[in-house]
Chains A and B, each alone.
Chain A
Amino acid sequence: KAGVTQTPRYLIKTRGQQVTLSCSPISGHRSVSWYQQTPGQGLQFLFEYFSETQRNKGNFPGRFSGRQFSNSRSEMNVSTLELGDSALYLCASSLEPGVTGQYFGPGTRLTVT
């Protein structure tokens, strides 16, 4: 069974631009969560989606948004990029909410210049 896939793997954007990252969960997994990983703040929860609905959201500004499609694939969007948004963005999937085992993708490395 294929793992969680994320595209693109690397991205360079300019401050003020917007970016969309994509995540395809493991087949059969319907819950998708997003995380931001930086050297300064570590791993932080962004949001969780299930059945095309956002179930939980972390403490991030409204510039960070996401959505989930009917096939469970998910996208996250960051608008008006700031230098501090440079990070590794990780997607994780699980069968459904409340299931403790989640599987991470390799991440998208975003660099904002």
Chain B
Amino acid sequence: QQQVKQSPQSLIVQKGGISIINCAYENTAFDYFPWYQQFPGKGPALLIAIRPDVSEKKEGRFTISFNKSAKQFSLHIMDSQPGDSATYFCAASKRTGGSYIPTFGRGTSLIVHP
């Protein structure tokens, strides 16, 4: 059972365009939602994160939109650049024994054409 569903699997965007990646979760116990960026040969790097009491969070060109009632959240990358080409993972975390344990989406491969 896939607890966090991520779409699309791949995305091609022109430079300057908006990239949108969506995730949906099922477990209402999740209370921390990070997004990670992974380049080939590297480990994932935390990009931006949000908690369910906030509907939107923006950091530079990256924005998370969160819809608690629909149990959905999305990553928007404004003015997409070729350097943004990477795999993006959403995650939903819940506190277990005092720690945040993430459940990851399957990832979205983003290609930004110059």
Interface of A toward B, CB cutoff 8 Å:
4, 31, 42-45, 48, 50, 55-56, 58, 90, 92, 97-98, 100-107
Contacts and interface: CB of A to CB of B under 8 A. Distances in A.
A97 B43 contact: no
Interface of B: 32, 34, 36, 41-46, 49, 89, 91, 93, 95-107
Nearest to A4: B43
Given A98-B100, A100-B49, A42 B43 contact: no
A54 to B, nearest CB: 10
Contacts of A107: 43
Q: Interface majority SS on B: helix, strand, loop or mixed?
A: strand
Contacts of A106: 41-43
A4 B41 CA distance: 14
Contacts of A103: 45-46
B43 A90 contact: yes
A52 to B, nearest CB: 15
A48 B106 contact: no
Given A42-B106, A43-B89, A101 B46 contact: yes
Q: Among B43, B96, B106, which residue has the most Cβ atoms of chain A within 10 A?
A: B43
Given A90-B43, A104-B44, A98 B93 contact: no
A50 B102 CA distance: 17
B57 to A, nearest CB: 13
B38 to A, nearest CB: 8
A103 to B, nearest CB: 8
A74 B49 CA distance: 26
Query: What 4 A-B pairs come out closest when comparing CB atoms?
Result: A104-B43, A43-B104, A97-B99, A42-B106
Contacts of B93: 100
Given A43-B44, A45-B101, A56-B99, 7 more contacts: A45-B102, A56-B101, A90-B43, A100-B34, A100-B49, A104-B36, A106-B41
